[in-house]
């Protein structure tokens, strides 16, 4: 049943994601600069970049089709919808019955396919190279992400994220070995999916090593702004998935709209801690060779499967 408090919580989640996603990226970049003893950029730098790009004219190749022109809007919409599906502030969300963990992974896959097709649409060498690498990463990362979500769903007997969060947050504090393996696997998948070290370097422009940047070389102006914004939303969505599965405390339950006031600062504290941890992981790791990425993601898949097997063994 759709309630007024649920609609308000849903709207607040989407607005918060759209507004705070660039801020999370700026926080990660600032923490990484601190850890590397470099001059830290302003935490508001992503907003300034988006403002500059939105005010620039988009230059589109003459042979570009509607696939190239429409991909930024589709990718941005998929990431915004994914942020609305994940219960970051409340479990009372109107989108919850219509979208479960499988649909969430499907949104990420749809955005990846659209981005890859747009990169190949122009016909440049680097765009095609980036599309192949992106599809390789997605082919290995999506099954691992599904196994992570299934590991959590086995505990709650539901694939609905709101049900998973509601059940885990009401249980007494305990260590679940299956979730411990799933947490490690999720961290590895998140690094790969968001083009972070050691899988990819978001700050590089070396043609032979970049993956995500190669997909967006032909974009400019508002199209590039949407792509950059969508990348920030994807990082925000993955961070919120990790918070919802492994740190669900502080998320408001259905029928308790007053708890939203405490859920917002609790979410920001968790995201700040997660952003600092991501910056630390990127600082202590070097970028691996592209040929090692399949091994990295296969290890994540095996850890997620081990988490499921451990749950079955302990449930007997």
Q: How far is CA 243 from the centre of its chain?
A: 12
297 pLDDT more than 90: yes
Q: How far apart are CA 108 and CA 105, in angstroms?
A: 5
- pLDDT on residue 260: 82
To which residue do tokens 């999916």 refer? 193
Instruction: Name the pLDDT band for 255 (thresholds 50, 70, 90).
Output: low
| 281: Cα within 13 Å, side-chain hemisphere | 19
21 pLDDT more than 70: yes
For the beta carbon of residue 220, count every other beta carbon within 10 angstroms. 15
Q: DSSP letters of 36-80?
A: TTSPPPPTTHHHHHHHHHHTSPPP--TT--HHHHHHHHHHHHHHH
234 pLDDT more than 70: yes
110 pLDDT more than 80: yes
Look up residue 181 and give its two tokens: 């393996």
Instruction: Name the pLDDT band for 41 (thresholds 50, 70, 90).
Output: confident
- pLDDT on residue 76: 97
30 pLDDT more than 90: yes
For the beta carbon of residue 203, count every other beta carbon within 10 angstroms. 11
* pTM confidence score: 0.94
Angle at 300 between CA 299 and CA 304, to 5 degrees: 115
Look up residue 41 and give its two tokens: 């950029």
Q: From start to end of the chain, where are the E strands?
A: none
Residues facing residue 252 across a β-bridge: 90
Once rounded to an integer, what is the mean pLDDT over residues 112-141? Answer: 91
Q: How far apart are CA 235 and CA 249, in angstroms?
A: 21
Q: Return the SS3 of 252.
A: strand
């Amino acid at each position: 049943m759709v309630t007024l408090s649920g609609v308000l919580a849903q709207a607040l989640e989407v607005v918060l994601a759209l507004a705070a996603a660039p801020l999370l990226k700026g926080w990660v970049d600032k923490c990484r600069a601190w850890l590397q003893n470099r001059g830290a950029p302003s935490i508001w730098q992503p907003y300034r970049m988006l403002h500059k790009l939105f005010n620039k004219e988009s230059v589109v190749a003459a042979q570009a089709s509607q696939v190239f022109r429409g991909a930024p809007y589709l990718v941005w919409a998929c990431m915004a919808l994914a942020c609305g599906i994940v219960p970051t502030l409340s479990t009372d969300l109107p989108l919850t019955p219509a979208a479960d963990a499988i649909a969430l992974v499907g949104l990420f896959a749809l955005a990846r396919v659209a981005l890859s097709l747009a990169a190949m649409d122009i016909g440049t060498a680097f765009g095609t190279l980036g599309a192949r690498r992106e599809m390789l990463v997605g082919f290995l990362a999506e099954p691992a992400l599904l196994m992570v979500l299934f590991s959590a769903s086995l505990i709650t007997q539901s694939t609905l994220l709101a049900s998973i969060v509601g059940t885990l947050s009401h249980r007494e504090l305990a260590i679940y070995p299956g979730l411990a393996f799933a947490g490690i696997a999720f961290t590895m998948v998140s690094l790969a999916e968001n083009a972070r070290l050691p899988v990819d370097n978001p700050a590089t422009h070396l043609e032979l090593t970049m993956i995500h940047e190669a997909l967006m070389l032909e974009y400019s102006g508002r199209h590039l702004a949407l792509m950059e914004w969508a990348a920030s939303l994807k990082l925000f969505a993955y961070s919120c998935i990790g918070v919802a599965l492994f740190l669900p405390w502080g998320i408001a339950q259905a029928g308790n709209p007053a708890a939203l006031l405490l859920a917002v600062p609790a979410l920001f504290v968790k995201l700040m801690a997660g952003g600092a941890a991501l910056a630390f992981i990127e600082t202590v790791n070097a970028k691996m060779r592209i040929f090692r990425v399949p091994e990295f993601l296969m290890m994540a898949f095996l850890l997620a499967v081990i988490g499921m097997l451990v749950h079955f063994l302990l449930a007997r």
